[in-house]
Amino acid sequence: MPDPHFYHRAGPFTLRELGELPDIELAENVDPDLLISDVKPLDQAGEGDITFLSNPKYADAFQITRASACIASRKVLDKLPKGLSILIATDPYKAYARVATKFYPPASSSGRIHPTAIIAPSARLGADVAIGPYAVIGERVEIGEGTVIGPHTVINDGVQLGARCRIGASAVLSYCIVGDEVAIYSGAKIGEDGFGFAPDPVGHVKIPQLGRVIIGSKVEIGANTTIDRGAGPDTRIGDNTWIDNLVQVGHNVNIGKGVIIAAQTGVSGSTVIEDYAVIGGQVGLAGHIRIGTAAQITAKSGVISDIPAGQIYAGYPARPRKQFFRQMAILGKLAKNKGSEND
């Protein structure tokens, strides 16, 4: 249950209002004027609450829930408990996300600028921009309307932020252009120097990093993630891409739209990740490779060569997932037989 000390709840809403959200409809014989005051899990929901059922293994809890309404798919309508109103959705989990967001929308900007914030005279701030304590806004910075800058955050010279962005505490942004409705969480570092040098036994020679980081709209960048600026070409992150905490993105990387990258993944320089690829946690990608559209890479894989579009790869070196598991099974049998010979 969301703690009201931290979360502000909107509503209540009628089932008719909730049914107007995308991909949701009211089942037959449902009272559209029934008021719903909160969203809760199946086993915690009570009168006035709405819950959801997306996993069949929770069907027993569905039967005994005390919720007033439930989001579910058509295939469970015959298991409807008496008195429970149903909102029908093809994907109940996604529908629940939309309903929960309606009850708990992201906080809008207060429009307040803390007196300890340091703002350069040439910075341009849109309407209702909020800036937290001890934040630093550099020269020629442009910040779009409704954007919120957290405490101790540094927005360095020349950075451009779109409208309704959320920049967490202690983030540092440099050499970057950011679209609208982007969330960059606490401690993230965007636009730092790329890892570019020419090796030399006397002393490595630094290669100037002269590019930028270009981030599209509706992107999420997790806490303590780092994205290096390009060496000459820009580092690019496409619209609606979500990057988890503790991810490293090297210089000149080009990430398409709708990509998902889980925590502790490292993306080496000049790698291309095409649209809608999904990369699991702790994956390592070598530089100058291409991950195809909608490809998937399982957690802890090591990728040293291109992955074709739509393929699922696993292991180190990463290979097609079925091949990886087949090889692991063969190795397991060989090890077992070897152990039997030594007994």
CATH class of 171-322: mainly beta
Count of other CB atoms within 10 angstroms of residue 312: 16
Query: Beta strand pairing status for 85-88 and 25-26?
Result: antiparallel
pLDDT tens digits, 186-223: 999 999 999 999 999 999 999 999 999 999 999 999 99
Q: Is 254 strand, coil or helix?
A: strand
Rounded to an integer, the average pLDDT of 92-98 is 94
The residue ranking higher by pLDDT, 335 or 122, is 122
Q: Is 114 a catalytic residue?
A: no
From-to residues of CATH 3.40.1390.10 in the chain: 13-103
Q: What is the DSSP string of 267-332?
A: E-TT-EE-TT-EE-TT-EE-TT-EEPTT-EE-TT-EE-S-B-TT-EEETTTTEEHHHHHHHHHHHH
Nearest by Cα to 87 from 22, 37, 11, 41:
22
pLDDT tens digits, 291-301: 999 999 999 99
Contact (CB, 8 A) for 18 and 38? no
Q: How far apart are CA 193 and CA 191, in angstroms?
A: 7
Cis bond upstream, residue 92 (ω within 30): no
Nearest by Cα to 247 from 280, 225, 221:
225
Q: How far apart are CA 161 and CA 155, in angstroms?
A: 9
- Model-level pTM? 0.91
pLDDT for the residue numbered 267: 98
pLDDT value at 257 more than 60: yes
pLDDT tens digits, 258-279: 999 999 999 999 999 999 999 9
Q: Tokens 């502000």 — which residue?
A: 8
Q: How far apart are CA 252 and CA 102, in angstroms?
A: 38
pLDDT tens digits, 57-68: 666 667 778 899
Q: Is 148 strand, coil or helix?
A: strand
Q: Please state which CATH number belongs to domain 13-103.
A: 3.40.1390.10
264-to-243, 268, 320 alpha-carbon distances in Å: 10, 13, 22
Radius of gyration of the CA atoms of the chain, in A: 25
Averaged confidence pLDDT in the chain: 93
Among residues 5, 114, 251, 288, which one is catalytic?
251
pLDDT for the residue numbered 112: 97
From-to residues of CATH 2.160.10.10 in the chain: 171-322
Q: Which amino acid is at 247?
A: V
The 10 Å CB-count burial string (b at 16+, else e) for 243-275 is bbbbbbbbbbbbbbbbbbbbbbbebbbbbbbbb
pLDDT tens digits, 171-190: 999 999 999 999 999 999 99
Q: How far apart are CA 168 and CA 184, in angstroms?
A: 6
Distance of CA 270 to the CA centre of its chain: 22
Residue 232: left (phi > 0), alpha (psi -120 to 50), or beta? alpha
Torsion angle of the four alpha carbons 294, 211, 233, 291, in this order, in degrees rounded to the nearest 10: -20
